[in-house]
Chain A
Amino acid sequence: DAKTTQPPSMDCAEGRAANLPCNHSTISGNEYVYWYRQIHSQGPQYIIHGLKNNETNEMASLIITEDRKSSTLILPHATLRDTAVYYCIVRAYNYGGSQGNLIFGKGTKLSVKP
């Protein structure tokens, strides 16, 4: 079972920041937080990952709370092409056995509106 909880859907106005929350209260010390997104009828796309520090790349920023029990993915200037289902996943750093498998939950369906 997925170890994260996300709201089922969110709306965002084009050009505004989209803030997608994720709860992972049972995260273990060796588990990273990953974000992927899936545009309709396509394969998932990697966005960003982090352990405990905030991270930023060309696509998004990831803010992880100090206790690591929740995080927020930020798309700074959402566009219509960012409309997708966003998945927050926790995965162990050690890829041994099944711990390293990406297990998808239900995700958040983000709709960016003009």
Chain B
Amino acid sequence: GAVVSQHPSRVICKSGTSVKIECRSLDFQATTMFWYRQFPKQSLMLMATSNEGSKATYEQGVEKDKFLINHASLTLSTLTVTSAHPEDSSFYICSARDPGLAIHEQFFGPGTRLTVL
């Protein structure tokens, strides 16, 4: 299947700093990318959907000014957690669809574990 990468895989930061997470589709062009968050022992929660060249659509309860999403190219989407606090510590996972492949598959990245001290 298609490959989605994330960078970094793990990040530790101080409270109040901003952290950028990159999501790349390595062998396909992703017109749509998704960002999920997963707290320990819980399921994945969809945060937002980003379409290349347009503003992201955020799920209810997700602060768009805190979680900045940029999908500037067909292979890269970034999630910036601004002014991170300990409650933002979580496992962040991106996902991408390739309209050129079987439309049913959605590929996930390996995740980024964010720890805010």
Contact = CB atoms under 8 A, between A and B. Distances in A.
A42 B111 contact: yes
Interface stretch (B14-22, B61-69, B74-82, B100-108): B100-108
A102 B103 contact: no
Nearest to B94: A43
Interface residues of B, number: 25
Contacts of A102: 34, 46, 95, 106
Interface size class of A (residues with CB under 8 A): 20 to 34
Chain A interface mostly: loop
A36 to B, nearest CB: 8
Contacts of A32: 104
Contacts of A49: 104
Interface string B73-117: 000000000000000000101010100000111111111010000
A43 B111 contact: yes
B1 A46 contact: yes
B43 A43 contact: no
The 4 closest A-B pairs by CB, nearest first: A43-B108, A104-B44, A104-B43, A44-B108
Given A43-B95, A45-B108, A46-B106, 8 more contacts: A32-B104, A36-B108, A38-B44, A43-B6, A44-B108, A95-B103, A101-B46, A104-B44
